[in-house]
Chain A
Amino acid sequence: MIAVLALLAGVVLGVYLDPTVPAALQPYLPIAVVAALDAVFGGVRAKLDRIFDDKQFVVSFISNVLVAGLIVYLGDQLGVGGQLSTGVVVVLGVRIFGNVAAIRRHLFRA
């Protein structure tokens, strides 16, 4: 419950403050969102599996975002452009799908 409230508070804060993202960070934003989504769905699933762990959640979120950002940066530097980010999106997308499927099984038993 607190978690959902905190998430909502974050959204409200983001909408209310409306910060401008520095241009240098803009390419990393979408991939960071995907990484964050992965962490969120992982956490929800772990919660439903009754194995949620705060430390694991925090660490996985931070490392996900950082690694995703790093891969995008690396892709830019290597000149492969968006391809490496595509890899990140695919991997994280598969994980999100799998976790959402598990959540669905928990919630609807189907």
Chain B
Amino acid sequence: MTGSTGGPTGGQRPARTYTPDFLTELFRNPLDPGYAAAAARRQQAGGPTGWQRGAVRAVTVVTLLVLGFLFAVAYRQTVAEEPGRSRARAGLVEQIKQREGETSELARRADALRGEVARQRDAALTGSAAARLRDLEAATGLVRVRGDGVVVRVADAPSKADAVTGQGGTNLGRVLDSDLQKIANGLWSAGAEAIAINGQRLTATSTIRAAGGAILVDYRPVTGPYEVSAIGPDELEDRFNDSLAARLMRNVADEHGLSFAVRGADDLTLPAASGPQLRYARPVVTPTISAPGSSAPGSSAPAASPTGTPDVTRPSGGNR
């Protein structure tokens, strides 16, 4: 097909006729060449006669029947498939919603139980030990905390993508997981003592990462607009505004149109984080506060404080 310029090679062989290449032929004469050939044959030898002709006719009719059948089936199939697709999608969305509901229900229950545990423990512990434990828990993010601080609000730039086709290039004004990490780190370094992203409290083991297009904080998805609330000293807002993270985010906001706002907020309440399950790391110093029997009133618990805390270090930032 490709070498269509050949001619008689040897001389004694008859000149071969080469057809033009496939596509040219296709455009020039779209009809199956078989029809012309069959017509030529018929003219030479005469068409089929008698029963042969009838049989061939019948086969054609059957073929056409099959053809119509095929069209109808394909049409029904295509029509039937469409709701199936959207049904599957709706089902998945439904499942996600349900699981999210279950998760928050369980989280609520965990909170309640945690409160219960704290109450029981407070009852069992003496005053100073209980207070110390509460402080530690507040620092590690295991209890709800209240206080004044700032709220940093970031939101994606309005998408330029076509709403129907979903195309239109990548939106550079999207908030990335690294943006939230930078903000969290900036807040820590500005002196924040507790940080929550969209109500997800950050702890020493918190992660802020991206999976696909979604941002996960502690493996739970958060969606924009993102609100990073932090409790800290009065000058937290100013310090954070001067920080590298805030300046960078302002630049990004100016260039790509995402929104970034820092405002001071009074009387913030940050929720407790779901307690980190430490499976492998063990405290080096036996924490005296966790054994109610061993802590005599005000004796060993305060003494242990300089050494008894390294296992519960302050969160140093959204970790990587």
Q: Is the CB of B71 within 8 A of A33?
A: yes
Whether B70 lies near A3 (C-beta < 8 A) is: no
Considering the complex, give the chain A residue whose CB is closest to the CB of B70.
A36
Interface of B is mostly: helix
- Let me know if B34 is at the binding interface, CB within 8 A: yes
- Closest A residue to B37 by CB, please name it: A56
Of B53-61, B100-108, B123-131, B216-224, the one touching chain A: B53-61
For the complex, would chain A's binding face be called helix, strand, loop or mixed by DSSP majority?
helix
Q: Does B74 contact A (CB under 8 A)?
A: yes
**Nearest CB of B to A16, in Å:** 9
Most chain A Cβ neighbours within 10 Å, of B29, B56, B64, B65? B64
- The answer on a CB contact under 8 Å between B67 and A36 is yes
**In the complex, residue of chain B having the shortest beta-carbon distance to the beta carbon of A39:** B67
How many Å from the CB of A5 to the closest CB on chain B? 9
Contact A9 B26 (CB under 8 A): no
| A residues in contact (CB < 8 Å) with B | 2-3, 6-15, 18-19, 21, 26, 29-30, 32-33, 36, 39-40, 42, 45-46, 49-62, 91, 94-99, 102
B66 at the interface (CB under 8 A from A): yes
CB distance from A87 to the nearest CB of B (A): 11
Chain B, interface size category, equals: 20 to 34
- The answer for the CA separation of A62 and B67 in the assembled complex, in Å, is 10
B68: interface (CB < 8 Å):
yes
Task: Knowing A53-B39, A94-B30, A102-B30, say if A14 contacts B61 (CB, 8 Å).
Answer: no
Further pairs besides A46-B31, A53-B35: 15, Cβ < 8 Å: A3-B61, A6-B61, A9-B65, A10-B64, A13-B68, A14-B72, A42-B32, A49-B35, A51-B36, A55-B38, A56-B32, A59-B34, A60-B34, A94-B30, A95-B30
Closest A residue, CB atoms, query B30: A98
Distance of B183 from chain A, by nearest CB (Å) = 42
- The reply to whether B71 and A36 contact each other, CB–CB distance below 8 Å, is yes
Select A55's contact among B26, B56, B65, B71, beta carbons within 8 Å: B56
Question: Is A18 within 8 A of B68, CB to CB?
Answer: no
Q: Once bound together, how far apart are the Cα atoms of A52 and B34, in whole Å?
A: 10
| Binary CB contact string for chain B from 292 to 316 against chain A (1 if under 8 A, 0 otherwise) | 0000000000000000000000000
